[in-house]
Amino acid sequence: MIANLPIAELRLLAGPERDEIFSRLIEAEGPALANAQEQFGAPLPVFALYPVSARPAAGTGGRVCDRPGLRINVTGR
């Protein structure tokens, strides 16, 4: 499953493909992604899943939501 990858970056397309991928990630990761979706807008235009030790790339302007074992770096907004 996508959410089980150690590092996965998803550039979500417009329309149903984007919505489907985001819905599957919310099912897999539960409240952490649902909260991020509410905080940053629905659905997130671009986001990345990192191990908790990773940091967002410099200069991306990304915002980070933390959850045990997972960071959600929200960019492209």
Ordered DSSP codes for 63-77: EEEEETTEEEEEE--
Q: Domain segments of the chain: what residues?
A: 2-75
**H-run or E-run covering 37:** helix 31-40
Q: What is the full per-residue pLDDT of the chain (77 aa) written as tens digits? A: 344 333 344 444 455 665 666 667 666 666 665 666 566 555 544 444 444 444 554 555 554 444 444 445 544 43
- Report pLDDT for 76: 42
pLDDT at 45: 42
State the pTM of this model.
0.29
Q: How many residues does the chain have?
A: 77
Estimate to the nearest angstrom the gap between the alpha carbon of 12 and the chain centroid: 10
What pLDDT score was predicted for residue 3? 45
Among 2, 24, 22, 26, smallest CA distance to 14 is for: 22
Tokens (6 digits) for 69: 């074992």
